[in-house]
Structure 1
Amino acid sequence: METTAREFNQNASKILAAAERGERITVTKNGRPVAILSPVTDEDSTDSGGEARPSSPAYPFRTDPMGDLDFPDLGGPALDNDEIEATLRGMGGVGISEDGDE
């Protein structure tokens, strides 16, 4: 199967499904091949000893914007989700009635 880069961009899920079914897809750009998409085999996902190969990260850098967050203990009470929601409901909508009128 052959597809253009534009077609791949617009129909990626269908093209990936074709690869999953075993098809080998050549992606072209301006009429010349730029990539080959092929199905993953059992050999691709295991090392020479038959052990599952660890997956490498998709990006060589962190993608979580904040990283691990370490919040300080401010000494306040520990609230469960219902208590937090009730507190937030009490803070919002100052001057707005329940039907949305001010």
Structure 2
Amino acid sequence: METTAREFNQNASRILAAAERGERITVTKNGRPVAILSPVGDQDVAPYPTDPMGEDDEAPVFRGGSAVDWAAGRGEYLQGFGA
């Protein structure tokens, strides 16, 4: 089965029901395939993502510390949040 992104948006429950019945659905946008929906079947699927989304060297790193450490450095922590 093939459907457009717009059709999928408007008929998601019907299309997902088709996948549940075993159909494989290709979703297209502007005439080109952008996604494939397929039934889960017997695949072992985690209830939540288990792999990282990727490395981000710019992301702040928070480390534990005592209340004294927090009080002394809170300006530094808050500065990272635009305060």
TM-score by length of 2: 0.55
Q: Against the structure 1 CA distance between its residues 56 and 28, is the aligned structure 2 distance closer, same or farther, given a 3 Å change threshold?
A: same
Percent identical across equivalent pairs? Answer: 84
Report the Cα distance in structure 2 between the residues aligned to 1:22 and 1:31, rounded to whole angstroms.
24
Matched, 1:56 2:48: yes
Which structure is higher in RCO with an 8 Å CA cutoff and minimum separation 6? 2
Equivalenced residues, count: 50
For the pair shown, the structure with the greater C-alpha radius of gyration is 1
Report the Cα distance in structure 1 between the residues aligned to 2:30 and 2:46, rounded to whole angstroms.
36
> Secondary structure, in 3 states, of the residue corresponding to 1:9?
helix
Gaps of 5+ in 1: 46-52, 61-102
The structure with the largest helix share of the pair is 2
Shift of 1:55: 1.3
1:62-81 alignment to 2 at 5 Å?
none
Q: Against the structure 1 CA distance between its residues 56 and 3, is the aligned structure 2 distance closer, same or farther, given a 3 Å change threshold?
A: same
TM-score by length of 1: 0.46
> Secondary structure, in 3 states, of the residue corresponding to 1:14?
helix
What residue number does 1:24 align with?
A: 24
> Secondary structure, in 3 states, of the residue corresponding to 1:26?
strand
